[in-house]
């Protein structure tokens, strides 16, 4: 299975490396060409001059770009070289409707589209430990098992196209709540004068342990917010969730509150930092020493 990766960011670069390790990677493409050149040289694969050329030379096209509009732009660029026998699996986090629109365009060429958003963060992508939530043809998901296994530890078929993204929305609401809980509790610990390395270690070994505390607890208390997962991208995901909730006639407190907090941090220039930069706002609460909500 000749596989190509489009979008060599925090997630895509690790995914490409693991596909190369499994002997499945043929080709890469990235909008900023220098990233693609460097990675292709490291992995000894070809850099495609454009997405269509990558599609011409690959059976499986993995896309992992930022936003809905970016996914559709990449899909449109692939279309001239898509045909029966080729499959596009999109690992970006986008709206269910956008995944369905991509599916419609890809299907018209005879190729297959799967929405396959991931969880596991940059570390999961680098370690080949991602979890895939797949929507689309179940037989195709099964056929692509070697590709999924090269990049991840688990793939679950959730239903038709869009079901993967709907599942990812559940994940992103949960991630917002975890971010709120961890940043708030650690800011409290720091304000209480505790040894924060010990706090992260001991709390991380008990019932409140979680991935985010383990991976980001130490760095956030030291004031380092290197992504990871960019705050502006989680804002994008929660905006998608907000729309899905509105369709159900519901607004959820965690979603509303986190969107408000992220909006403020983005306005202050922190959108390209990791989502753990929410710690900045929580720390400020203690510095201001008042009881006002953010």
Q: Which residues are catalytic?
A: 168
The whole-angstrom separation of Cα 84 and Cα 158 is 24
Of 57-96, binders to ligand NAP (CB under 6 A) are 64-66, 70, 73-74, 92-93
User: Nearer to ligand NAP by C-beta: 100 or 143?
Assistant: 100
> Please, are residues 24 and 4 in contact by the beta-carbon 8 Å criterion?
no
To ligand NAP, the closest distance from the beta carbon of 206 in angstroms equals 25
Query: Does residue 78 contact residue 103 with C-beta atoms inside 8 Å?
Result: no
DSSP state of 292: -
Q: In the stretch 104-123, what mask flags binding to ligand NAP with x, by CB under 6 A?
A: --------------xx-xx-
Does 11 bind ligand NAP (CB under 6 A)? Our answer is yes
Task: Kindly give the pairing relationship between strand 3-6 and strand 60-63.
Answer: parallel
Query: At CB < 8 A and 24+ separation, what contacts does 193-196 make?
Result: 196/221
Q: Contact 254/180 with Cβ under 8 angstroms?
A: yes
- Is there binding between residue 7 and ligand NAP (CB under 6 A)? yes
Contact code string over 253-272 relative to ligand NAP, x by CB under 6 A: --------------------
Distances (CA, A) of 36 to 61, 158, 248: 15, 32, 41
**9 contacts ligand NAP (rule: CB under 6 A):** yes
Minimum distance between the CB of residue 114 and ligand NAP, rounded to whole angstroms? Answer: 15
Are residues 279 and 186 in contact, defined by beta-carbon separation less than 8 angstroms?
yes
Interaction of residue 126 with ligand NAP, rule CB under 6 A: no
Between CA 67 and CA 72 the distance in angstroms is 9
- Shortest spacing between CB 80 and ligand NAP, in angstroms: 16
Nearer to ligand NAP, 188 or 211 (CB): 211
Total of chain residues touching ligand NAP, rule CB under 6 A? 26
Residues 131-190 that bind ligand NAP (CB under 6 A): none
Distance CA 101, CA 75 (A): 10
Query: Which residues of this chain interact with ligand NAP, rule CB under 6 A?
Result: 7-12, 30-32, 35, 64-66, 70, 73-74, 92-93, 118-119, 121-122, 229-230, 233, 237
């Amino acid at each position: 299975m000749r596989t190509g990766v489009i979008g060599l960011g925090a997630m895509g670069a690790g995914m490409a490396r693991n596909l190369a390790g499994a002997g499945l990677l043929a080709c890469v493409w990235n909008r900023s060409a220098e990233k693609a050149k460097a990675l292709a040289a490291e992995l000894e694969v070809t850099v495609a001059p454009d997405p269509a050329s990558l599609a011409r030379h690959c059976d499986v096209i993995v896309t992992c770009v930022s936003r809905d509009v970016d996914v559709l732009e990449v899909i449109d660029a692939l279309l001239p070289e898509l045909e029966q026998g080729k499959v596009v699996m999109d690992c970006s986090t986008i709206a269910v409707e956008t995944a369905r629109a991509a599916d419609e365009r890809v299907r018209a060429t005879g190729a297959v589209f799967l929405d396959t958003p991931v969880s596991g963060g940059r570390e999961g992508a680098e370690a080949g430990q991602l979890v895939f939530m797949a929507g689309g043809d179940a037989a195709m998901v099964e056929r692509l098992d070697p590709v999924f296994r090269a990049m991840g530890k688990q793939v679950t078929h959730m239903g038709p196209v869009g079901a993967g993204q709907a599942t990812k929305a559940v994940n992103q609401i949960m991630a917002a709540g975890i971010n709120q809980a961890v940043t708030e509790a650690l800011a409290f610990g720091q304000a209480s004068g505790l040894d924060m390395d010990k706090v992260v270690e001991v709390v991380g070994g008990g019932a409140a342990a979680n991935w985010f505390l383990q991976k980001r607890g130490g760095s956030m208390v030291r004031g380092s917010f290197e992504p990871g997962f960019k705050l502006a991208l989680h804002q994008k995901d929660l905006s998608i969730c907000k729309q899905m909730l509105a369709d159900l006639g519901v607004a959820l407190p965690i979603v509303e509150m986190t969107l408000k907090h992220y909006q403020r941090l983005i306005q202050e220039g922190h959108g390209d930092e990791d989502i753990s930069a929410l710690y900045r706002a929580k720390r400020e609460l203690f510095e201001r020493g008042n009881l006002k909500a953010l």
